[in-house]
Amino acid sequence: MGVALAQFQSTPSKEENLEKISKIISRLSGISLVVFPEFTDLLAPSDISRERLYELAEYDDSQFIRGVRRVAMEHGIWVAVGVYERSDEFPRVHSSVYIIGADGELRAKYRKSHLFDALGHKESDWLKPGDEPPLMVDVEGFRLGVIVCYEMRFPELARYVALSGADALIVPSAWYRGYNKEEQWLTLTKARALENTMYVLTSNQIGNTFAGISVAVDPAGVMVARATEEEGAVEARVDQGRISRVRAALPLLEQRRPELYQYK
């Protein structure tokens, strides 16, 4: 299956962001799924109030979500897109990933459950965490798991996805730049792929305060695609034969002894 990873620079204009989504998708060929980063819908100004952000956040029938659905249907492609989504706890919002089918229908949604309260940031001041495990979704015969950005630091989530039968882990992200942050991202991405013998496919924000480094890593921890320092999309292929061969040589999931891993 062909997957495109869109490295995207969000702006404060939803209309401009939707137009960029359309342009990126229109350039793709032979791709089944395109993944856009966390917060693709909006670059929230640093001084925005929580109340204003809630007002701007998406919901299932928001204009932005309808626009993405229309683009997906026009091009016959699945779309995973990270957005701010209104929660039921005003004025906090969710960091959510909408999964839209090639027919333009909303197929699934995941709300980030582990928030970035670290390194001087406190997402929980304005984000509400989700309370569900990583999303599992089937796309054209492939099983995909979904987590978001900071959740890459929690190996339990990726292992849940692998044990749920995933071929690949999809990770929309807005990874901040900073000392050693780029190296951390690459290390985490490779580790999550290698320890679970599955693909890890990341789509990251670029520019503003974000690091970029949208990458695809195969089940043996080999980086098979990497974006440049610019906006655009890189393509990778998820190959179930490659997964089978790696798992035959490196049967990590079969060799687990979960009875030894109980916390006391």
Say which CATH number the domain at 12 has: 3.60.110.10
Is residue 112 annotated as part of the catalytic site, yes or no?
yes
Examine the pLDDT at 177 and tell me if it is beyond 90. yes
Domain range enclosing 36: 2-256
Average pLDDT for residues 1-19, to the nearest whole number? 98
Residue 153 lies in a domain: yes
> For residues 82-100, b (16+ Cβ closer than 10 Å) or e, as one string?
bbbbbbeeebbbbbbbbbb
Pairing label, strands 2-7, 33-35: parallel
Beta carbons within 10 angstroms of residue 3's beta carbon: 27
Flag whether 209 is in a domain: yes
Per annotation, catalytic residue among 20, 149, 151, 190: 149
- pLDDT at residue 3 greater than cutoff 90: yes
- pLDDT tens-digit readout, 24-50: 999 999 999 999 999 999 999 889 999
> Does the annotation mark 38 as catalytic?
yes
Q: CA angle, 232 as apex, 26 and 142 as ends, to 5°?
A: 70
Cis status of the peptide bond prior to 91, with omega within 30 of 0: yes
Q: How confident is the model at residue 205 (pLDDT cuts 50, 70, 90)?
A: very high
| Count, residues in the chain | 264
HSE-CB at 148 with a 13 A cutoff on CA atoms is: 29
Using one digit for the tens of pLDDT, what is the confidence trace for 212-253? 999 999 999 999 999 999 999 999 999 999 999 999 999 999
**Among 14, 38, 85, 128, which one carries the catalytic annotation?**
38
CA distances (Å), 77 to each of 22, 70, 91, 101, 202, in order? 11, 11, 33, 7, 18
Closest listed residue to residue 84, CA positions, set 33, 148, 151, 26? 148
* Beta strands across the sheet bearing 33-35: 106-111, 93-100, 78-86, 33-35, 2-7, 232-237
Predicted local distance difference test score (pLDDT) of residue 241: 98
Task: Please indicate, yes or no, if residue 64 is contained in any of the structural domains.
Answer: yes
Whether 133 and 160 have beta carbons less than 8 Å apart is answered as: yes
Least Cα distance to 145 among 212, 182, 214, 192 occurs for 192
Tokens 């580790």 belong to residue: 191
Rounded CA-CA distance 77/68 in Å is 11
| Residue 263 predicted with pLDDT over 90 | no
In a domain, 264, yes or no: no
Number of compact structural domains in the chain: 1
Asked if pLDDT for residue 80 goes beyond 90, the answer is: yes
CB 128 within 8 A of CB 93: yes
Residue 261, domain member (yes or no): no
Of 14, 20, 109, 112, which is the active-site residue?
112
248 is a domain residue:
yes
- Any domain includes 205: yes
Q: Is pLDDT of 178 > 90?
A: yes
d(CA 95, CA 115): 9
Asked whether residue 37 is assigned to any structural domain, the reply reads yes
Residue 179 phi/psi, 5-degree rounding, is -60, 120
At residue 58, the pLDDT reads: 98
